[in-house]
């Protein structure tokens, strides 16, 4: 392990990444109020629909993967040998 400090070793930089994400999200939510949407489907008209959908999709994917799929499908590495 070398002693050199890299970009993300400094806690300030990591905080900066997190904060820029939150700022970006705030910006998007505000922008949503000003756009003209042409909804193909009824749900697209809801403000910030894709935000919720993206968040829920990711969470659902991870939960299903972790609690259903991994217990069912994981095996030790030499299972087939």
Partner 1 sequence: MTNLMPPGLMFILGALLVPFFKGKFKSVYLLAIPIVTLLGLLNMEVGSSWSFSFMEQSIVLCKVDKLSLLFGYIFSIISIIAITYALKVKSAGEHMSALFYAGGGLGVVFSGDMFSLFIYWEIMAIASTFLIIASKTKSSYSAGLRYLMIHLLGGLFLVLGIILHFKKTGSISFGYIGLTDMASWLIFIGFGINCVFPFVHAWLPEAYPESSVTGGVFLSAFTTKTAVYVLLRAFPGADILIPVGVTMTVYGIFYAMIVNDCRRLLSYHIMSQVGYMVTGIGIGTEMALNGAAAHAFTHILYKGLLFMGMGSVIHMTGKRRKSDLGGLYRTMPLTTIFYLIAGVSISAFPFFSGFISKSLIVTAGAESHMPLVVLILTLVGAGTFFSTTLKLPYSVFFGHDSGLRPKDPPGNMLAAMGMAAFLCILLGWMPKLLYDILPYPIDYAPYTASHVVGQFQLLAFSALAFVLLVNYGIYPSETRVINLDTELIYRKGVKNLVFVIDKCLIFLCDYMILVFHQKIPEYLTKFYTNPLQFFRNILNMNSSEVSNVGAMKPRLMEGTIFWFFLLFVIYMVLVLF
Binding site for partner 1 (CB under 8 A): 1-2, 4, 6-8, 18, 21, 24-25, 28, 31-32, 35-38, 40-41, 44, 48-55, 57-59, 61-66, 69-70, 73-77, 79-80
Minimum CB distance to partner 1 smaller for 11 or for 40: 40
3-state secondary structure 23-73: HHHHHHHHHHCCCCCCCCCHHHHCCCHHHHHHHHHHHHHHHHHHHHHHHHH
Minimum CB distance to partner 1 smaller for 16 or for 44: 44
């Amino acid at each position: 392990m070398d002693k050199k400090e890299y970009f993300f070793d400094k806690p300030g930089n990591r905080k900066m990444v997190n904060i820029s994400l939150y700022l970006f999200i705030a910006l998007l939510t505000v922008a949503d109020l000003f756009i003209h949407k042409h909804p193909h489907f009824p749900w697209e008209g809801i403000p910030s629909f894709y935000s919720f959908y993206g968040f829920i999709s990711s969470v659902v994917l991870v939960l299903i993967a972790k609690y259903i799929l991994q217990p069912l499908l994981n095996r030790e590495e030499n299972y087939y040998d």
